[in-house]
Amino acid sequence: MNSALINFSYLVASILFILGIKGLTNPRTAARGNLIGASGMLLAVITTLADRQVFGAGLEGLTVILVGVLIGAGLGTTLALKIQMTAMPQMVALLNGFGGGASTLVAGAALFDASQPTVQMTIAAVVSGMIGGVTFFGSLIAFDKLQELILPGRPIHFPGQQIINLLLAVAAVGVGAMIVMDPTATHLYWVLVLIASVSGVLLTIPIGGADMPVAIALLNSYSGLAAASTGFVLENNVLIITGSLVGASGLILTRIMCKAMNRSLGNVLTGAINPNVAGEFSADEVYAGRVKSAGAEEVAMLFDAARRVVIVPGYGLAVSQAQHAVRDLATLLESKNTEVDFAIHPVAGRMPGHMNVLLAEADVNYDKLREMDDINPTFPQTDVALVIGANDVVNPVAQTDPSSPIAGMPILEVNNARTVVVIKRSLSPGFAGIPNPLFVADNTLMLFSDGKKAILDLIAAIKDM
């Protein structure tokens, strides 16, 4: 195939990737953006096969390629169709891991196949192996902690953890240097991948489930960086461009997530939430005899008199799969001429945009989803703020107690609403492990129940009025 046509096809694929990302920035164009990005990937794959003269490799070569495509397409289609929207964080974690694993294998195969690898190729392969190994096994651990199959969702620590991580990093750099100095020692590549894989496990287990939005964003950037490094190994420009786009966007998203939690990246990666401070009060001191609980009928009367309601979804909404019931509640309230908005905290849930994805899946009008800085000034004019399974992201201690583990973290200021209704199963703390004075505020009522059941009970009570 003509080299000019190859380069032009790669350029078109790169433009499609950029347009795809642009489309993903708006819910109305997200589906189209996804299709544009997928089209760019299809063009890039076909162009690469033509560039590498795979189409002329004979029946055996084409059969291998076709089998690989069918297996990948089959698995991808099955996962996309079967996965529940509430399990989307696990899906994203796996996809990040697959990207890192693929980069590691491709870079290793290219290094083994090269008769005289250049210094650039060797360095790029080493970087791809290191980042890819960390990404693959780190993503598997993230998936497991989210699913809680083997490991618990809470942070896992053991003595000497940071020292071991440092030693593994030094060992990885040392082995990588040995490969660069002697490219014929290709067996060391798999030693490097093994070290990186162990590092991926140890770097991810200290991260708690509530910090997974940051971890997933970071692993996403790692998968992009691994792909970009593999692009240098293969001297494939479109892979370099694509990997760089993913890596840069992932790092930017990681920074946004950390800022939204008022946490440093190092603090998140070590699973520490300001470990040297403990806050002023214990749960017994905060809650003892002061919690006001209510039933669905009492809350329904509040909604009947309300002219403006703000719904605050949290991880509890995802766990109870209450997004469709919440949409029905919002529709019912709007039919009674009540203004309804949704307040979205950047790190609510277990992945970036988790609440947005769930509510979009339930066909909630995206114009109703308001970001934190936009919605906070409106809470004083809100008759009822309905908090569903959220905790730390609405904890006023972040603004009032400088000794709190979440001091300085931006929150949704629901405490300024005229009435706050909190739906939770219990008074158990959030990821920070501290009590929430909002639950005993004078303007707060607690509705203790599963999120979905509580919303369905509210709908029934409102209809009966």
Q: Establish whether 392 is a catalytic residue.
A: yes
Is 134 in contact with 245 (CB distance < 8 Å)? no
CA distances to 13, 44, 275 from 39, in Å: 8, 9, 47
**Residue located via tokens 């794959």:** 45
Residue 198 phi, psi (nearest 5): -65, -40
Q: Which two tokens stand for residue 49?
A: 């096969």
- Residue 33 sits at the vertex; the CA angle it makes with 27 and 39, to the nearest 5 degrees, is 160
Which of 144, 341, 392, 457 is labelled catalytic?
Answer: 392
Tokens at 47, concatenated: 């162009």
The Cα 129–Cα 415 span in angstroms is: 49
In a 13 Å sphere around the CA of 367, the CA atoms on its Cβ side amount to 1
Report the alpha-carbon distance of residue 147 to residue 112 in Å, rounded.
36
- Residue 180 CA to residue 168 CA, distance in Å, equals 18
Which region, left, alpha or beta, applies to residue 279 given φ > 0 means left and ψ of -120 to 50 means alpha? left
- Active site positions, annotated: 392
